[in-house]
Amino acid sequence: MDRKELLRRIVLNAICDDYENIDQVILRDARDTAEKLDLTIERTDVVEALKGLIDDGLAKAYLLSPSKPWVTELAGMPSVEVPEEYFKTYFYISKKGMDLHLSDDSWWPFEDREE
C-alpha cells in the first residue's frame, strides 16, 4: 500500500466511530498512528485525505451546532485549510466507507487490529 492510501486509511479509521473535527481529534489520532510507523503527517495531509475520501463517497462533512438543526450535511469538501477558531466542521465515515473499513483490516499495521 502506498503512502497516500495508507494516510487515507488512517484518517478513515479516525472518523469511523463519531463525528470528528480535524484539529480536535483527526490530526492528533492520525499523527499518533503514523508516528508508530515512522511516518510524519501534516495537517495538509489530513485535509487532502479527507477530500479524497469525500470525493470517493467514503466520508462526509457536516456542520454541528448546539442548536437546531444539530447536524447539517455539507455537499462536498468544505474549506478547512485554516484551523477553525470555533469548531463546527466535522467529518464522519459514510456507509460505503464503513463497508470498506470493515471488509479488510489487512492494511492495519499493528497486531491488535484496533487502537
Q: Residue 10's Cα: distance from chain center in Å? A: 7
Q: Is the pLDDT of residue 113 over 90?
A: no
Kind of pairing, strands 71-73 and 89-93? unpaired
pLDDT in tens, 27-76: 999 999 999 889 999 999 999 999 999 999 999 999 999 999 999 999 99
CB atoms within 10 A of CB 105: 11
SS (H, E, C) 54-104: HHCCCEEEEEECCCCCCEEECCCCCCCCCCCCCCCEEEEECHHHHHHHHHC
pLDDT band for 115, please (50, 70, 90 cuts). very low
**Residue 104 pLDDT grade (very low, low, confident, very high; cuts 50, 70, 90):** confident
Query: Residue 108: its pLDDT value, please?
Result: 73
The pTM of the full predicted model, rounded to 2 decimals, is 0.89
pLDDT value at 109 more than 70 = no
> What percent of the chain is predicted at pLDDT more than 70?
94
Domains of the chain (ranges; CATH) run 3-103 (1.10.10.10)
pLDDT above 90 covers what percent of the chain? 77
Phi then psi for residue 112, to 5 deg, are: -80, 5
| Per-residue cell: 2 | 502506498
